[in-house]
């Protein structure tokens, strides 16, 4: 079956521009997570959606970052006024409640 | 916040030997622990997990040990194979969202 998909796979943008990253979770998965992995660093938690509950936004690094999820389907992560330190691989994962997370291939963002 | 720590950024072992990857956590509310494996240019994939009610879980060549009193878990791979070369992430979850360690890059030399 289809796994988690993310788009675009690569994104190059200029400093100060806004970017939007998309995640399509596995059908039926109620939980969706966004992570960031900077070069040479580990996975950094950003935000977590679980069903209709209020999202856990505790990992968002600044108010330039926001994410939305429509029901239990697609999620978008938006970064406004991008900075060079935002360059990273942005990973999305989905799971059934309490289950193993399945990761997408990631979006590689480069801010020039 | 560094709630999950992997203090060794890299590990190199000879093929056939045991690989031991370590992970420490600080939040006693974590009750479920996982290891993920990541190859370059791919997303992490689930490897093995353990619930806090257990102290050991084995799956083929992979065994995860949990020491709750020390807030420490480890992943043993035996025998190690060159195809095991990857970055291994330790993760912990509870009522809160899952937290990951920084990863350990394992290199298994033929």
- A53-99 per-position pLDDT tens digit: 889 898 899 999 999 998 888 999 999 999 999 999 999 999 887 67
Q: Is residue A65 part of a domain?
A: yes
HSE-up (13 A, CA, CB side) for residue A100: 12
**Domain of A83, in residue numbers:** 5-105
For the domain made up of B4-109, give the CATH fold.
Immunoglobulin-like (2.60.40)
CATH number for the domain that contains residue A19: 2.60.40.10
List of chain A residues whose C-beta atoms are within 8 Å of the C-beta of residue B45: 103
What integer is the mean pLDDT of B86-102?
A: 86
Q: Is residue A96 part of a domain?
A: yes
Residue B53: is its pLDDT beyond 80? yes
Sequence-distant (≥ 6) Cβ neighbours of residue A8 within 8 angstroms: A21, A22, A107
The nearest CA of chain B is from the CA of A43 a distance in Å of: 6
> Which comes out higher in pLDDT, residue B43 or A13?
A13
For residue A98, what pLDDT is reported? 65
Judge contact between B36 and B89, C-beta under 8 A.
yes
**In this predicted model, what pLDDT tens digit does every residue of A19-34 receive, in sequence order?**
999 999 999 899 999 9
Q: Is residue A23 part of a domain?
A: yes
CA distance B26 to A61: 21
Q: Is residue A63 part of a domain?
A: yes
B85 lies within 8 A of chain A by CB: no
What integer is the mean pLDDT of B42-63?
A: 93
In B30-85, at which residue ranges do the beta strands (DSSP E only) sit? 32-38, 45-51, 56-59, 62-67, 72-77
- Name the domain count of chain A: 1
Q: Domain locations in chain B?
A: 4-109
């Amino acid at each position: 079956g289809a796994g988690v998909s993310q788009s675009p796979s690569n994104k190059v943008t200029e400093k100060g521009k806004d970017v939007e990253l998309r995640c399509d979770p596995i059908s039926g998965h109620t939980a969706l997570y966004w992570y960031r992995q900077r070069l040479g660093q580990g996975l950094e938690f950003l935000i977590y959606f679980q069903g209709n509950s209020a999202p856990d936004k505790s990992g968002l690094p600044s108010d330039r970052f926001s994410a939305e999820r429509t029901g239990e389907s697609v999620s978008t992560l938006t970064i406004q006024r991008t900075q060079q330190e935002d360059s990273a691989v942005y990973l999305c994962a989905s799971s059934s409640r309490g289950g193993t997370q399945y990761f997408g291939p990631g979006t590689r963002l480069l801010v020039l | 916040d560094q709630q999950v720590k992997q203090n060794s950024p890299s590990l190199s072992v000879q093929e056939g030997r045991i690989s031991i990857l370590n992970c420490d956590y600080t939040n006693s509310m974590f009750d479920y622990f996982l290891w993920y494996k990541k190859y370059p240019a791919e997303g992490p994939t689930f490897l093995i997990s353990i619930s806090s009610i257990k102290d050991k879980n084995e799956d083929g060549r992979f065994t995860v040990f949990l020491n709750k009193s020390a807030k420490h878990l480890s992943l043993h791979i035996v025998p190690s194979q060159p195809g095991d070369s990857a970055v291994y992430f330790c993760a912990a979850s509870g009522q809160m969202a899952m937290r990951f360690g920084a990863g350990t890059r394992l290199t298994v030399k033929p």
